[in-house]
Amino acid sequence: MTDQPKQEGLFDCRKAWAMTLEALARDDDRIVAVVNDSVGSSNLGGFQKAFGDRLINVGIAEQNMVGVGAGLANGGRIPFVSAASCFLSGRALEQIKADVAYSNYNVKLVGQSSGVAYGELGATHHSIEDFAWLRALERLTVIAPADPWETEMAIRWAAGHTGPVFLRLSRMKVPDLGLDVDGQRQFSVGKARLLRKGSDVTILATGTTVHLALCAAEDLSHAGQSAQVYSVHTLNPLDEATILENAAQTGAIVTCEEALVRGGLGGAVAELTSANTPIPVERVGFQGFQKTGPVDWLFEQNGITAQGIAEAARKAIARKS
Amino acid sequence: MATRPKTNDSRLLDIDAKARWMRRRAMEMVHAKKLGHIGGDLSATDILATLYFGVLRYDPERPDWPGRDRFVMSKGHATGVLYTALCAAGYFPENWLDTYMGPGSRLNGHPNREYLPGIEANTGPLGHGFPIAVGIAIAGQLSGADYRTYVLTGDGEQQEGSNWEAAMTAGHRRLSNLTLIIDRNRLQQGARTEETVGLDPLGDKYRAFGWDVTEIDGHAHASLLDVLGAESNGPPRCVIANTIKGRGVSFMEDRAKWHHGVPDDDEFARAMKELTA
């Protein structure tokens, strides 16, 4: 827990990732990085300079990269396997399942430039399916930090935790979310962070959409509707207790993610609430393959904006019986 | 058994005895359960017997000992041979073999390192063990550890592209602590490898990837012991072990139907008679 004050401005969380990993690697020589010719896109130039042969570049070979990660864990290392999320989660999915999750190896998978970060490059390079694919795997902790502070906390936790982890990072610039409602910052894996209190609807947001959810809550307040907002940084294990409490208390939920709602956070929350506390759930995110375009445009086209989230909240509130 | 065994005649006698026992026991397990991959078990038996009773440095009391030599069974379907080898090596009591593939058994259809000691990776889908072995070898290289890493793949398994990614990485990094053994029985599940998607010239392929290649008779214990036990400071080593699928049972030898065929009672009796001779 920390009361570190909010930093002003917008941040590319890859900087927090690289600085944190380098700091951890200085203190623990078991930490190594494994990449698929992705030193630059993973922002690991500094790591390579500082630690030389502890940066293992296997070339453009994602299946091998994840298998090598499992082998390094077998040999007592703590590998951070870092690659563009689309290739890591897609090409190497069977290795993630069998070599890491099912074999229960202490491998940290780091999906860089997740979501639609590679906007114009198109659907092959978008990684919006990763939540659905990876949260299905038992034992694989799935974390999507929302700002530089959550990024640092997630990486520190992953390094100290014995077990498989997937960290879903973004290159999109985001603001520092600041303090939790209780005036502290608390990052606890598997526990959603309460960032704003409200009573009419609960907005569960993850990753790059959390700051948009906070703006949406502010807009709603001008119309007399109060929204409770969480950063759901951990998708697996999901904070089921908090979500069901909110389902009972506010009676309406909106989910937001830079991911496919089918099987993503939206899917997870719908699964959970429909089986336990059926209430209206509106899901903001992507519905399918996206066309080429800049990231902001893709967000707007899919209603992943403060206005879109506020609209979804109004719909969810209206659906309450 | 925390030191590497010496190459000598008494060791060869032990390997021979263990290989005979493993073949019989695997046959009993597959017959009893009416499941398994007996053809591949029998083709790989002499390789595993030589590794476990002539080459590897391990301690069954300390399966997680960081200094142990690693053996990664990439052809994870051949559990009949893997489990009998681990049992004979002292990792678990013999009566566990009787639970082979039973409901909830530790002796899963494919190996699981959390169910049984001595297993390095949960293989089964082909083309997984080799990259894992490369990672283990890199870890050893980074820390200057003196353990060796061995990985066994099937030959049909070489059709999986992930093997060639691993071969490139190991060749590029000159992983002298890594030995790849290919169980070259020339049959895959459905047909001959060369009729399916040909692998030859397999040795030349590995040479082109920067490996030191040796071809041997994969049933000759003395050759296996010499080659697998040799010290190496050069490039990674690929040992193409020419084998016969179903080796040791005349009517099973070199026939694709015994990839996962199960002997009936009469076939079982005939097989056991041949394996006991």
Full 3-state SS string of A187-207? CCCCCCEEEECCCCEEEEECH
Question: Which residues of chain A register pLDDT less than 70?
Answer: 1
Angle at alpha carbon of residue A23, lines to A18 and A28, rounded to 5°: 120
Task: Identify from A37, A53, A65, A74 which residue to disrupt to test chain B contact, counting B C-beta atoms within 10 A and taking the largest count.
Answer: A74
Nearest chain A alpha carbon to B124:
A98
Could you tell me the pLDDT band of residue B5, with boundaries at 50, 70 and 90? low
What distance in Å separates the CA atoms of residue A229 and residue A250, rounded to the nearest whole number? Answer: 11
Token pair recorded at residue A60: 């453009």
Task: Tell me whether A104 touches chain B (CB under 8 Å).
Answer: yes
pLDDT at A1: 60
Flag if B128 and A99 touch (Cβ within 8 Å).
Answer: yes
What distance in Å separates the CA atoms of residue A160 and residue B73, rounded to the nearest whole number? Answer: 30
CB atoms within 10 A of CB A40: 10
ipTM, 2 decimals? 0.95
CB atoms within 10 A of CB B261: 17
Q: Are B258 and B245 in contact (CB under 8 A)?
A: yes
Token pair recorded at residue B176: 């002298």
Task: Identify from B73, B169, B175 which residue to disrupt to test chain A contact, counting A C-beta atoms within 10 A and taking the largest count.
Answer: B169
Q: Which neighbouring-strand residues pair with B208? A: none
- Give the start-end residues of each E strand in B166-233: 178-184, 212-217
* Mean pLDDT, range B272-277, rounded to an integer: 94
What distance in Å separates the CA atoms of residue A245 and residue A295, rounded to the nearest whole number? Answer: 34
pLDDT at B157 over 60: yes
pLDDT at B7 over 70: no
Q: Look at chain B and count its residues.
A: 277
Chain B contact set for A76 (CB, 8 A):
66, 139, 143
Active site residue A62: yes
Residue type present at position A247: A
Token pair recorded at residue A218: 């502010």
CB atoms within 10 A of CB B257: 10
Give B65-91 pLDDT, tens digit per residue. Answer: 999 999 999 999 999 999 999 999 999
Angle at alpha carbon of residue A135, lines to A129 and A138, rounded to 5°: 145
| pTM greater than 0.90 | yes
Chain B contact set for A67 (CB, 8 A):
128, 130-132, 134-135, 162, 166
Give B195-228 pLDDT, tens digit per residue. Answer: 999 999 999 999 999 999 999 999 999 999 999 9
pLDDT at B231: 87
- Residue appearing with tokens 């704003």: A196
Alpha-carbon dihedral sign for residues A90, A91, A92, A93 = positive
SS3 state at A58: coil
Give A100-148 pLDDT, tens digit per residue. Answer: 999 999 999 999 999 999 999 999 999 999 999 999 999 999 999 999 9
Q: Which of B128, B134, B166 sits opposite A98 (nearest CB)?
A: B128
Alpha-carbon dihedral sign for residues B150, B112, A155, A92 = positive
What distance in Å separates the CA atoms of residue B91 and residue B68, rounded to the nearest whole number? Answer: 14
